[in-house]
Chain A
Amino acid sequence: MKSTTSFMLFAATIASFILGIILDSWVFIILTISIFSVLAIEVRGALQEEVKLKVERKSEKMSLYEDDEIWIELTIKNEGKSLNYLEIFDNLPPDIDIVEGSNHHILKVDEDEEKTMRYKIHCSRRGEMEIGPVRLRYRDPLDLHVEEWTTYELMEIFVLPEIQEMKGVNVRPIYTKSWIGNIKSQRIGIGSEFFSLREYMPEDALKKINWKATARFLEPMTNEFIGEKSGDVILIVDGHRKNIIGDAERNTLDATIRAAGSLASSILEDRNRVGLIVLGDYLRWLYPDSGRDHFYKIMEELSGVKEGGEWELEDTKWILRGFFPKRSMVVFISPLLSKDVSETLLDICMEEHNVMVISPDPLVIEKEIIDDHSPLAEKLSQLDRDVILDKLWKYSVVVDWNPNEPLEASLKEVIRYWRRS
């Protein structure tokens, strides 16, 4: 393919020749010869053979947390003839910044040679990021011959929402299920805390025999333990448009998602099962499960959440009723800007779920982004919020969370009060 420069030079040759004839000037004729000589010599810059390039992209990990950095490695293998001036551009989404190296290079790749370009990226926003395609361009230094290709070598990276450590607080469901966990149940079972002694049964393991008691009663006695069980927790993330306040950098949706991620991590570590329902651009849900893989599934779902206007809390009732296990703990995370959630939450309570509401305070975010806020309006909004929170306290545990502070502190305080009462 010829470039604009070669077209310009070719046009200059013709123009110079015509001017030479019209103006009867030897200067233009000599210039015609000079420009033509450049064009003729530059034939050597054109690609002589078909280009055979193999492009591969590698990364140390496929998912990372917000504000993390990773190295991306792009390897180009030339399976054809030597290429002297190969320009490479690896396309990046706008939310990704390069902190070291570059995604744009010009290099020489010899026959059967492999070249690697590395760059480190910083991901400031959660989401599903697609890196690629790779655009390749051969151009001779004079820019007379240009060839371009696009290699659809794509890579998906999940930028997971940032999570907070919550070591000192345990969000535990009231109702436990039959599988083993960390919650002490009211029944005898597998656990670590001693409950009572009973007579030895032939199927009892030897390590369960209480030798001191056996010596005292002169017959074999076995220890019995408090059964440690686990339960199901269903996180409902509110991503409805009318419940979002803030700008692209700082908003209630991001705070809600971070809270959900932190809770999921803490609850799963406590050996409970966690399910997820997201009311966002579309309705996403994950059936309760446990383990590390399930945690990453939850985080990947959360990373892709976008605000939406279709789905409301009301719509989760049929999912909870039809697909999720009964007697679970439902944690609804929302800034509570719409007043009609209380009735739906009451309905959920009636269906034998215990409900917790975590509400990132929208007023804190609003105050940060609006310079000139009216104290009266602020007071009225606070009153509205207090009314909703008071209403919800009647049948659920409510955590009024300041997103600027760790969630752990707010949760700890509320859970302590709830257990005491």
Chain B
Amino acid sequence: MEKKLKYDLNKIFLAILVLIISLGASTALIEVQGWWFPVIGGVISIFGLYLGKTKILNLGALLLVTSFFFLIQGIPFNYFNLFFIIFAFFFFFGLWIFMKRELLVSEIKNDLVGSEGINYLENYKKDSALYYLKTLLMGLLVSLTGGMIAAHSFIGPLPSGMALFLNVFFSVVILLALYSVLFLLPKYFIVE
């Protein structure tokens, strides 16, 4: 029996997700003047996804993310909001990279006739999905740690000038140190 890929199902799923997000954001912004902004961003992303054009997809994603900033403007600083912002970022980022992967998979699928060599594409889909999840989880972990460090450094109104710069700089240094200890150093101790 010929093996069939479910690319279109993936595309439909991603498109529906983008549409839900953009409509949700528009509903939340209904009383603001630019309430249509997220819908436009979402529709452009979906167009990019279906036309197979990375540039259109990126533009739509940029508009969608920008509209997200309208939604969260003036949000007070606390731990719940901190987690919300980080989770939202990784959600958007994950959605974007999955859509980009779908474009590459579609491109390769369009060149494929019959089932010869389909296993390479199936393996890539599996491997890349795992890789994305791993990256997103690791990124989330590091960002949460970094965010916590930054939060501990400046609860309350933001200091200005050099103090802020130093805060961010130290947070990043600590973040990198953590990252190297957690992920990079073990590589040098593993003897094959």
Q: How far is the CA of A31 from the CA of B65 in the complex (A)?
A: 12
Q: Nearest Cβ in chain B — how far from A47, in angstroms?
A: 15
Verify B168–A32 contact, CB threshold 8 A. yes
CB–CB A102/B179 < 8 A: no
- Cβ of A104 and Cβ of B111 under 8 Å apart? yes
Is B117 a contact of A40 with CB atoms below 8 Å? no
A29 at the interface (CB under 8 A from B): yes
**Interface contact A105-B121, CB-CB below 8 Å:** yes
Q: Which residues of A contact B154 (CB under 8 A)?
A: 26
B139 at interface, CB cutoff 8 A: yes
- Asked whether, in the complex, the Cβ of A106 is within 8 Å of the Cβ of B175, the reply is no
A108 CA to B121 CA in the complex, in Å? 10
* Known contacts A24-B158, A27-B72, A33-B150; is-contact A40 B132 (Cβ 8 Å): no
Output the nearest chain B residue to A38 by Cβ-Cβ distance.
Answer: B139
Q: Is the CB of B168 within 8 A of A26?
A: no
Min C-beta distance of B190 to chain A, whole Å? 14
Shortest Cβ distance from A274 into chain B, in angstroms?
Answer: 39
In the bound complex, how far is the Cα of B138 from the Cα of A267, in angstroms?
A: 75
Chain B positions 145 through 172: 1 when the CB is less than 8 Å from some CB of chain A, otherwise 0: 0110010001000101000110010011
Q: Give the distance in Å from the alpha carbon of A102 to the alpha carbon of B124 in the complex.
A: 15
Q: Among B111, B165, B176, which residue has its beta carbon within 8 angstroms of that of A102?
A: B111
A42: chain B residues at CB < 8 Å are: 135
A37 within 8 A of B: yes
Within A8-40, the residues touching B (CB, 8 Å) are 8, 17, 20-21, 24-27, 29-38, 40
Q: Does B58 lie within 8 Å of A8, measured CB to CB?
A: yes
Asked if B11 is at the interface (CB within 8 A of a chain A CB), the reply is: no
- Per the bound structure, the CA–CA distance linking A118 and B115 in Å amounts to 11
Q: Are B117 and A105 in contact (CB under 8 A)?
A: yes
- Contact indicator B85/A141 (Cβ below 8 Å): no
CA distance A5 to B132 in the complex (A): 15
Kindly name the residue among B82, B101, B147 whose own CB sees the greatest number of chain A CB atoms within 10 A. Answer: B147
Residue contact B75 to A27, C-beta cutoff 8 Å: yes
Establish whether residues B160 and A103, one from each chain, have CB atoms under 8 Å apart when the complex forms. no
A193 at the interface (CB under 8 A from B): no
Q: Please, how many angstroms separate the alpha-carbon atoms of A90 and B42 in the complex?
A: 35
The answer to whether A101 and B117 touch (CB under 8 A), given A41-B142, A44-B183, is: yes
Q: How many residues of B contact A (CB 8 A)?
A: 51
CB-CB nearest in chain B for A97 = B113
Question: Taking the nearest CB of chain B, how far is it from the CB of A174, in angstroms?
Answer: 52
Which A residues, 112 to 166, have Cβ-Cβ distances below 8 Å to chain B? 117-120, 140-143
Stretch binding the partner chain, chosen from B14-22, B32-40, B86-94 = B86-94
Shortest distance from the beta carbon of A319 to any chain B beta carbon, whole Å: 46
The residues in B between 70 and 120 inclusive whose CB is less than 8 angstroms from any CB of A are 72, 75, 77, 82, 85-86, 89-90, 93, 97, 100-101, 104, 107-108, 111-114, 116-117, 120
Q: Are A102 and B117 in contact (CB under 8 A)?
A: yes
For the complex, what is the distance from the CA of A34 to the CA of B94, rounded to whole Å? 13
Residues of chain B with a CB closer than 8 A to A108's CB: 123-124, 127
User: Does B27 lie at the interface of the complex (its beta carbon under 8 Å from any beta carbon of A)?
Assistant: no
A34 B139 Cβ-Cβ under 8 A: yes
**Out of A33, A107, A140, which one reaches B147, CB within 8 Å?**
A33
Asked whether B128 is an interface residue with its Cβ less than 8 Å from the other chain, the reply is: yes
A100 on interface, CB distance cutoff 8 Å: yes
Q: Which B residues touch A98, using CB under 8 A?
A: 111, 113
What is the CA–CA distance of A27 and B71 in the complex, to the nearest angstrom? 12
B175 touches A103 (CB 8 A): no
Expressed in whole angstroms, the Cα–Cα distance for A107 and B128 within the complex equals 11
B120 touches A118 (CB 8 A): no
When distances are taken between beta carbons in the complex, the residues of chain A under 8 Å from B158 are 24-26, 29
Provided the pairs A38-B93, A106-B120 are in contact, do residues A30 and B85 lie with their beta carbons within 8 angstroms?
yes
B175 is contacted by which of A29, A40, A105 (Cβ under 8 Å)? A40
Cα distance A33–B86 in the bound complex, in angstroms: 9
CB neighbors of B among A66-124 (8 A): 84-85, 98-108, 117-120
Which of the residues A24, A38, A118, A143 comes within 8 Å of B117, measured between beta carbons? A118
Could you list some 10 contacts between A and B, CB below 8 A? A5-B100, A20-B168, A33-B150, A34-B143, A40-B142, A41-B179, A102-B117, A105-B120, A107-B123, A119-B117
- Enumerate chain B interface residues (CB-CB to A < 8 A): 58, 69, 72, 75, 77, 82, 85-86, 89-90, 93, 97, 100-101, 104, 107-108, 111-114, 116-117, 120-121, 123-124, 127-128, 131-132, 135, 138-139, 142-143, 146-147, 150, 154, 158, 160, 164-165, 168, 171-172, 175-176, 179, 183
